[in-house]
């Protein structure tokens, strides 16, 4: 079956969060969060080292909206349920629909970090992948040096499968090692 024909919800909720597909108009929220968090994001995410404008942010959101509809990439935005504030971004990327394999990525705005939101969001997204997309494998990959990022899969019961040495370039163009975590059964999710 062509993935574009696969129907599934465009949003879901956790205890404190609403997580949904990106929508036209979200660019301003994303831009504000990136600007607030630029120094932290620059260390780990190459996109943060480029020029940031509201227009570029809105273009990125609209491209992600299109990709979501096409089922080629499933970026999702995280909002606080009570106050509606934009918290960060996550999503299912580098998908293989035949295998039903997905890779989770994520970032959080600085003012919302260390409140347990990202753990909650990634737990919810992992459940979404198993329940709504019939996932057989969900991965999280991160820079070996990113201590905060690697705590998330470790706390959620993902298994560290290995370290890919000199596998990618970090956001400053230097070789980095990448940790590969996976979970293959929803029952292992903590």
Residue 107: which residues within 8 A CB-CB, separation 6 or more? 37, 41, 44, 45, 88, 89, 90
**Residue 175: strand pairing partners:** 169
Query: Would you tell me how many other CB atoms lie within 10 Å of the CB of residue 9?
Result: 10
Phi (first) and psi of residue 122, to 5 degrees: -70, -35
N residues, the chain: 190
For the chain, give every domain's residue range. Answer: 10-188
* pLDDT, mean of each 10-residue run, the chain (190 residues): 91 98 97 91 78 93 97 98 96 96 96 96 98 97 93 96 92 89 91
Quote the Cα angle for 125-106-62, to 5°.
Answer: 90
- pLDDT of 70: 96
DSSP state of 179: E
- Please state which of the four CATH numbers 3.40.50.2000, 3.40.630.30, 1.20.1250.20, 3.40.50.300 is assigned to the domain occupying 10-188: 3.40.630.30
């Amino acid at each position: 079956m062509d993935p574009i024909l696969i129907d599934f919800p465009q949003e879901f909720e956790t205890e404190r969060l609403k997580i949904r597909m990106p929508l036209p108009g979200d660019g301003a929220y994303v831009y504000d969060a990136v600007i607030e968090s630029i120094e932290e994001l620059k260390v780990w995410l190459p996109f943060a080292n480029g020029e940031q404008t509201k227009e570029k942010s809105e273009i990125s959101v609209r491209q992600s909206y299109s990709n979501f509809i096409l089922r080629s990439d499933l970026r999702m935005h995280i909002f606080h349920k009570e106050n509606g504030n934009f918290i960060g971004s996550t999503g299912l990327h580098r998908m293989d629909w035949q295998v039903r394999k997905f890779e989770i990525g994520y970032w959080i705005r600085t003012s919302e970090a260390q409140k347990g939101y990202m753990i909650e969001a990634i737990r919810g997204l992992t459940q979404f992948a198993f329940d709504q997309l019939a996932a057989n494998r969900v991965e999280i990959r991160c820079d070996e040096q990113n201590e905060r990022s690697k705590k998330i899969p470790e706390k959620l019961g993902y298994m560290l499968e290995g370290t890919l040495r000199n596998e990618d370039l970090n956001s400053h163009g230097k070789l980095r090692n990448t940790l590969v975590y996976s979970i293959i059964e929803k029952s292992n999710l903590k």
